[in-house]
Each structure stands twice: as structure tokens, then as C-alpha cells.
Amino acid sequence: MKLLFVVDPLAGLKPYKDSSVAMMRAAAARGHAVFACEARQLFIRDGHARASCVALDVRAGDDWYDIAHTDACILKDFNAVVMRTDPPVDTDYLLATHLLGIAETNGARVLNRPACLRDFNEKLAILNFPAFIAPTLVSADATEIGRFLDEQHDIIVKPLTEMGGSGIFRLTLSDPNRNAILETLTRHGRRAIMAQRYLPEISEGDKRILLIDGEVVPWALARVPLPGETRGNLAAGGTARAQPLSERDRKIAETLAPWAKEHGIFLAGLDVIGNSLTEINVTSPTGFQEITAQTGHDVAVQFIAAIERSCSTAVRP
């Protein structure tokens, strides 16, 4: 197969932990041709969606790639285009999904589907599954959020478009900074944010559960916060611990897996704290390398094998 990975700048990817690097290594090890580009290198010319791509020689180690050559590639000529650009889901990101959507219309196979990257905000998507979530409010109104805090006593507030724990705050009734925090996050009432009841089970880890083409990866990655920290995100200093899925984890994952596949979400990362679903990550879910290193279950190989199967049965538009 010939695979294109739309990623952040290659030089900035961390080969010891980055899931996109693991995907590219697994693809190369299975004999596939690996190409990469950045979202800003997507363009349309003569009616075809294209990209300025680099062909990669991928290998192990810190010096993990060489650029073999650079070409202007037509996206439909790849067996799959894997969109792995990190949030924020800003104007540039959304424009990239529109370009990828045109590529899809012209015959390209894009994973995850561009429409689902736009339609399923990673925070808001949990509202499709009310049975699995903690009390949650989405609002730009600080007074409304204040009433929610009065009811719940202890809450987490977060922006809807960030990742890695960015912009997340814990608020209690006695917090002297609550008004300033809400003014900042809501941009003085102009931007909706999410508020959720604080879940003390975060001390045991924010669990990442991966879904690949409708299948549940059998291990969760618990991101355990540093002492005194409320965020388990690895980007915020959390410690990664792979662990088997609990009965509740598996119920959540097996309920969401067919929904994800139906909507063109080839790869999803479910975040679960205690028994509650808190996010559905569809942009660039991570955790591949940590799960593989700790359990021996090679998630990247599972991902590439799933692409192989799906490409062998896919009907191009």
C-alpha cells in the first residue's frame, strides 16, 4: 500500500512516544510506502486535491526518518490518507478538513473522515451518550456556570477546542478566582465552554481507551496526575500506566465502537475517569507506544492491519 500521513512538522515529532511515528514505523515494517505532509501543504489544482509530500525511509531510533524525495502528490493515488494533525481545531484545521473532503469526493480514502473531524467536537461528542457521562453543562454564560457550580460544589471547566489539558481548571465554591477564570475561558460570555462535575477518581488515572475500525483495543492507558494536579494528561506531566479494561470500560467502549465506525471514525480515543466518559478524541488519539511498551500488544500494527483490511474491501467513490 501507499499511505500518506498528514502530521505536524516531522522534526517536532517525538519518536519515543508519538503515535504517528509508531503508525509510520508499523506501515514501513509491513512493506508499505510511507509519505508525509503538513496540513498547510494540502492544495487543489486542476480539480484534484494534492499535497506537497515527502517520501520517507522510516527506521527505529531517535534519527527515525530520512526524506527520500519530495513530490506534488494527488491524494486519491494513496490507498489511505491518515489525518493526524493535532488540535486546536481552529480555522486552519477546519479548512484542511474541507480540502480533505474534496479529496474524498474525488476518490481519496481519508481516515478519519473529514466530515466527522468537523462534526464531532471531542468534548461535545460525549453528549450523544448521556448514560455514560457525569453531570455536564455547556454554556458561555458565567451566571449559568455559577449555578451549576452551586449544584455540584466541585467542577472542572475547559475550553471546547484544546488538547493536552490546556485551559482546564478545577473550581470550588470557595475559589476566589472563579469569576476571573470564567471570564477568561468564556471570553466574557462570547465563547461556550464545558463544565463537568469533578470526578475524584482522577487520582487513579484518566483512562484512554482506543477504538480502531470498530474494534476495542483490549488495554486502557491510565494517565495518572502528578501530586496536587487535577489533569492526568501526559502533556501536563501525568504518568502512563497500561491496564486491562474494567467491566464498565468495556461496556462504554463496546457501545461506542459501532457508532464510531458508522460515522467514519476509524480511530477514536475515549477518555474515561472512574465510570464516566469525559471525551471522545477523533483528531489525533495517542497512547499507542505506551500501551505497546507495557503490554506487548502492538497497537500500531493493529492500526495498520485494520487499514489493510478496510482498503481491501473498500469501494472508492
Residues assigned a catalytic role: 123, 158, 208, 223, 231, 271, 279, 281
d(CA 29, CA 206): 32
Closest to 191 (Cα-Cα) out of 238, 121, 273: 121
d(CA 4, CA 227): 40
Measured between its terminal Cα atoms, the distance across the chain in Å is: 18
Closest to 80 (Cα-Cα) out of 266, 282, 293: 266
Closest to 169 (Cα-Cα) out of 142, 151, 139, 195: 195
Distances (CA, A) of 130 to 74, 82, 196, 202: 42, 30, 13, 20
d(CA 127, CA 138): 10
The DSSP secondary-structure symbol of 22 reads H
The DSSP secondary-structure symbol of 314 reads -
